[in-house]
Structure 1
Amino acid sequence: ITGVTGMRIIRAIVSGERTPNTLAQMRDVRCHATIETICAALSGNWRDEHIFALGQSLALFDFYQTKVLECDRKLEAALKALEIDEGHDVRHLPKVRTKRRQVNTPDFEVRSALYRVLGVDLTQIHGIGPSLALKLIGECGTDLAAWPSSKHFTSWLCLAPGNKISGGKLLSSKTRRSSSRAAALLRLAATTIGRSDTALGAFYRRLSARAGKAKAVTATARKIAVLFYNSLRHGMAYHDLGATQYEERYRSRVIGNLRRRAKTFGFSLQELPHEPDMDVS
């Protein structure tokens, strides 16, 4: 109800409007609900105590919105303070990957502000938007030199396989439990990217079908963490291969492994000739 249509109707109700049809006419053109549906939802007895409670809630909502804006201004100032000298030139900022604005994002241009501080655009990595990039920087910092490699970084996040060894024998390779907020954010990004037509999305779906969603989320989150580390530490640019090319490379890798195994047993794999489609007419 905090959308454009919902807030218009709520403010009108608190101001004294009670006619369902009049309230329904405030519907935004992007609203999925029809005027008839909204009218049916707004037909009631308008009890005075409920209107009073609604007015109190609206006042608190507006108050918290102002406090959120104050936090956004503080975040913007903190990022400005992190800029070295004049900061990196935003004219070198890559083209935005997606123009759709995410909900609950800070009320300033996060992508440009982060680029002036970091010199890299983390939002080019699929699964990482401006808001998530800001949260990851808040958790991990702008300098990842404390971790000598991406393996150390993913181990710190508890996204790497464990190595519980006793007597020289591996007892368990399960990932360790973690209360890291950065790891939780990366897992959330992995869940989102699983529905995309990207190389990471194809990896998630392939592993999910073979090993289950839980392991697929962890493995994909680790890949995103490695990309985040390499971009921030070494300035590496991320280029997505696409789901189709990823599947082709995976198929070629599997065929190559099969041929090598067959060769060790004295066999040779041969591709079957392509049979033309039969025209049954």
Structure 2
Amino acid sequence: MPRQRKVTGLPVINEKAAGIDIGARIQVAAVPPELSDEPVQTFQAFTADIDRMADWLVSLGIRTVAMESTGVYWVPVYEILEDRGLEVILTNARECKAVPGRKSDVNDAQWLQRLHACGLLRASFRPGRDIAALRAYMRVRDRHLEYAAAHIQHMQKALTFMNLQLHHVVSDLTGVTGMKIIRAIVDGERDPDVLARMRDGRCKHSVQTIRAALVGNYQPEHVFALTQALALYDSYQARIAECDAQIEKTLAQLVIDKAPPKDPLGAARAHAWQTNSVNFDVRPLLHQLTGVDLTQIHGIGPSLALELVAECGTDLSRWPTEKHFTSWLTLSPGCKISGGKVLSSHTRKTTNRVAARLRLVATSVGRTDTALGAFYRRLAARIGKAKALTATARKIAILFYRAMRFGMRYEDPGADQYERRYRERVVKQLHRRAAQFGFSLQPAEAVS
């Protein structure tokens, strides 16, 4: 069969570009018509077939490949093609929708190839292989934490069935006092006096109060449920410890070729141990990896700093400006305008892990006596807590971007200085508006 003629229309930027429609069972690859008599081929999802597809693309001289982020089926295809030296573009399905009409896997692959050849597709962010491995370990650890939290609820439910009000007399069921008592109950101890004497010295409630809360109705089925929940909780804690060891090993490998930073690591801003944090000191490793102390930014502790690095990497030049970065986090206002009228400026809904954590951190920062806390409270009084939360999370993200991209050292000016600067800006604006209308403002003391 004669080869198809080259398609004309939009200017072709990537002549050696291919497109792949990813599926759970098959992958459909499309290349420029002038490179092959069969420019569209279908491959199974088995590893041998993916290798055969990679060989076919390389033999045609393909340099770059575009694919949609379909579920998690794209991951092995991405990694195999990347190992073959191909530049792989993972694009958002929202940005490459075809015009309405007939839809098939072949049409989707050809549409992706055409868009990519014309340079109309933007690559979604994916960190390098080392950072991607760190991110995978962090996400597995977060999943184990969620499962362990569910079994904490199961333990509390079993205690409630037995009318043991332990969660009312200890601040944390998984703390020193709570776990000692729960393990003793599982081992067969029923005497409330013996259980109450297991109280840690830092516990706020007295021994008598704890004893009264531990007089319960011990039924075998409820004790069995408590035993099962405790065993599962301990199992997940062991898996979390294994993840911590792997994360520490990965960080140590990342900093092997890193020179020590010029500025020494300062003292920790918060000395309290954070719940669910990794079981090793992560600050020195992150300081050597990034060259800055991210924990000096209010709201960013060692755990969040580690998660930010795992999710965003160490090279933030992928985002040209801080506005691009906050837009990727979906913390920037939306832009929906029609007919010169703003229809909506709400932020997009997202499942971005970093954005969710920053919003959570902004809640606690809003209660602090810092410039960020004053910023949150001022906006909350004017536009509401929900919008103030997003704005504060965006400001923390900007501080992180500036520290990682330009090595900025953060120094908190304090809530008082922030309020004074805000007052100066408001007064200056009032003087300017009054001058526009032919008036002049005088201080209250001068008038009297």
TM band (smaller chain): over 0.9
Structure label with greater radius of gyration: 2
> What amino acid is the match of 1:150?
E
Deviates more, 1:103-112 or 1:37-46: 37-46
Written as runs of structure 1 = structure 2, the 5 A alignment for 1:159-178 is: 159-178=331-350
CA distance in 1: counterparts of 2:256 and 2:315, whole angstroms = 13
- 3-state secondary structure, aligned to 1:171: strand
TM-score using structure 1 length: 0.93
- Deviation string 1:222-269 (CA, Å, 9 cap, x unpaired) is 100100000011110001010011000000100000001111111110
> What amino acid is the match of 1:124?
Q
Written as runs of structure 1 = structure 2, the 5 A alignment for 1:197-212 is: 197-212=369-384
In structure 2, list runs of 5 or more residues that go unmatched.
1-172
Written as runs of structure 1 = structure 2, the 5 A alignment for 1:4-15 is: 4-15=176-187
Q: Does 1:72 align with 2:241?
A: no
> What amino acid is the match of 2:356?
A
Among 254, 269, 272, the residue aligned to 1:82: 254
Deviates more, 1:186-195 or 1:45-54: 45-54
Q: CA RMSD in A?
A: 1.9
TM-score using structure 2 length: 0.59
CA distance in 1: counterparts of 2:400 and 2:419, whole angstroms = 23
Report the Cα offset of residue 199 of structure 1: 0.3
Count of aligned residue pairs for this structure pair: 276
Written as runs of structure 1 = structure 2, the 5 A alignment for 1:188-199 is: 188-199=360-371
Report the Cα offset of residue 83 of structure 1: 1.1
| 8 Å CA contact 2:258, 2:289 repeated in 1 | no
- The residue number in structure 1 matching 2:277 is 105
Give the structure with the higher percent strand.
2
Deviates more, 1:83-92 or 1:105-114: 83-92
In structure 1, list runs of 5 or more residues that go unmatched.
277-281
| 8 Å CA contact 1:159, 1:218 repeated in 2 | yes
Identity %: 61
The answer to which structure, 1 or 2, has the higher relative contact order (CA under 8 A, 6+ apart) is 1
CA distance in 2: counterparts of 1:58 and 1:124, whole angstroms = 37
CA distance in 2: counterparts of 1:168 and 1:57, whole angstroms = 59
| 8 Å CA contact 2:283, 2:302 repeated in 1 | yes
Written as runs of structure 1 = structure 2, the 5 A alignment for 1:32-43 is: 32-43=204-215
- The residue number in structure 1 matching 2:87 is none
Report the Cα offset of residue 168 of structure 1: 4.1
CA distance in 1: counterparts of 2:406 and 2:256, whole angstroms = 18
- 3-state secondary structure, aligned to 2:342: strand
Q: Does 1:258 align with 2:430?
A: yes
- The residue number in structure 2 matching 1:185 is 357
| 8 Å CA contact 2:334, 2:345 repeated in 1 | yes
Distance 1:91 1:67, change over 3 A: farther
- Deviation string 1:60-99 (CA, Å, 9 cap, x unpaired) is 2222211110000011111112115254259711221111
